[in-house]
Each structure stands twice: as structure tokens, then as C-alpha cells.
Amino acid sequence: MTVVEPFGLSVWDEALEADIRSGLAAVEEGLLEATKSDVPFITDAARHLVDAGGKRFRPLLVMLGAQFGDPHAPGVVPAAVVVELTHLATLYHDDVMDEADVRRGVPSTNARWGNSVAVLTGDFLFSRASHLLADLGPEAVRVQAEAFERLVTGQIMETVGPRGGHDPLDHYMEVVAGKSSSLVAVSGRFGGMMSGADDSVVRTLSTFGERIGAAFQLADDILDIASDSHESGKTPGTDLREGISTLPVLHVRRWYQQSGGSASAEDRRLVELLDSDLTDDVRHAEALELMRRHPAMDLARRDTLDLARQARALLEPLPDNPAKYALAGLCDAVVHRTG
């Protein structure tokens, strides 16, 4: 068994390992080419997060999905570059909205150059992704456009919050489906599509991407609270500070509501903090500590594991090959990662 970095996926087949390594290396070259501009400053800003690294989760899923057809088909690597460029572009915009200072262990683009440059650089990356996408054919353009609509819709839903009478947890999972799962689903789908896999396989890979993408985001929610900056490359409790109600926070609130008048003093204090301005460092640190030892964290981990199990079960109809088993291993890697 070998481990394929940067995501840490265990691979048992030498040929598959070689294909993934060469494919991801080609994706890195494609990212550098796609982020190159005649204006040196734009190149520096566009490559800021590329150079900072990352898990390359979405390109990895493209590469694994392509194993069910011709993994060396000409559209596979460009499709992987497209999904990663799109993802990177959303990070530039997310950091502006969240006022984040750190991303992938380095100063965020907005912290280094300001919000305007960060937003415009994200737009530049979207344009480069679209340019590559045009060469992959009208069906690929349609698939990406639908996913991008879902992604933006999810971001808007998160921004405006649940409508009256809508369960906040259900609303949050709809946000996750749009913001996170949509592009991961496209990654699996593109891998199958570009490699010429059977339509049934392409559909399975897309649905698998939906589930594993949601599990990936919920694992991020947990890491935002449970990890330190050295492990995650981000400032712990960023979502807490910004007042974003992620899965653990929503479980805290539900726990508190269901406890009625029997809530503990710690629970009451935590909810009080969650309702306050957590840009204050002292209150933020206290809220983070109370969150880390609250039973809501175990509930969030349970939900994440459930989604990973659902994703694994979806793989059953796929042809038996090393990529199928690697995808099953990916389910474990997603939920048990530390960064």
C-alpha cells in the first residue's frame, strides 16, 4: 500500500498510483499555465493559493472517475484543472465575505492585497476556467453552468439564512449541497464523461460526488472548531467568529432547545456566546473551548460518518477495479482527516 499525497489517499495498485500521480502532476502544470497573465501582478495574485498548495480533492476525484474509462483521454486533465480553478476562485470570494486573514497557512489574498484585488482575481480564475471548459464541448459547459448556479444559490441561501418556519439544520444541508457538493459531483461526473465511461457509471460517480462532497464539508465544519491552525492551515473558529451557523453550532442550538429548562450552565453560557459578537477575542476563545467539549461535536461527527457510509454504498454497482476500492478508501480519508 502507498499513500498518494497531497490528500493522503491509500492506494493498493501500482498502475493506479502511477496514473494518479502523473495526472495530478499534469493538473499542477495546467494550473500554473491557467494562472499566468501578461500582467505580472495578476499572475502573482492568481497563483497565490495555487502556490500555497491544497488537497486537490476535486482533481483527485476526476482522476479516479476517469479510471472507469480511458484515464488518458485528452479531456481528463483539462476537466480537473477546470474544477480546481473554479474551486480556487470561490475561495478568493469566500475570504472576502468571511473577512478571513489566513488561507492554507498563508495570508489570504484579501489580507495581502485588499478585497477588490481578491474579488477581481477570483473573477480572473473563473474566466480562465471558462476558457478551458469551452474546449471540452457543450455538454461539459452545460454541466459546469448548472453546478455553478447551484454553488451561487447555496452561497446566497447561507447569506440570507433560513426562511420562516424552515428547520435550520435542513436549510444548512441545502446550503452544503449547493456550495460544496455541486462542484464535487461535477468532478466525479467529469472524470467519467471525459474518459468515455458508460452513462450509468457517470451517473453513479456524480451521485457519489454529491455525498462525499457533503461529508467533506461537514468534516471541514468539525475541523474549524476541533483543530488548531497548524493542522488545518486556517484560523480555528473562523466560522464562529463570523457568526456562521455550521453543523456543530446548529446541533448545539437544537440540543439547547430540546433540553428545555434543564440546560446546564455551560450550555446556557455557550448559547449566550453564540448569540453575541464573537469578533471579541476573549468571547471567541471561550466559545471555541465550550464548543470543543460539547456533545454536539459527536453528533456532527455522526452525521459526517453517515454521509460517508452512504457514499460508500453508492459505489456497489461500479465495476470492480482498483479505482473503486480507492474511492471507498476516500470515504474514510475524508472523515478522518486532520487538515
Cβ count near 319 (within 10 Å): 11
Tell me the CB-side half-sphere exposure of residue 180, using CA atoms within 13 A.
19
What pLDDT, on a 0 to 100 scale, did the predictor assign at position 55? 84
- What is the rounded CA–CA span in Å between residue 220 and residue 216? 6
Determine contact, residues 93/122, Cβ cutoff 8 Å: yes
pLDDT at res. 9: 63
The CA distance from 181 to 309, in Å, is: 16
Q: What is the pLDDT along the chain (339 residues), one digit of tens a residue?
A: 454 554 556 666 788 988 999 999 999 999 999 999 999 888 988 888 787 777 899 999 999 999 999 999 999 999 999 999 999 988 887 777 766 666 666 767 777 677 788 888 889 999 999 999 999 999 999 999 999 999 999 999 988 888 888 899 999 999 999 999 999 999 999 999 999 999 999 999 999 999 999 999 999 999 999 877 555 556 788 888 888 889 999 999 999 988 877 889 999 999 999 999 998 999 999 999 999 999 999 999 999 999 999 999 999 999 999 999 999 999 988 988 766
Q: Which of 338, 98, 103 is nearest to 223 (CA)?
A: 338
Domains (ranges, CATH) in the chain? 1-197 (1.10.600.10), 216-317+325-338 (1.10.600.10)
Q: What is the pLDDT of residue 60?
A: 95
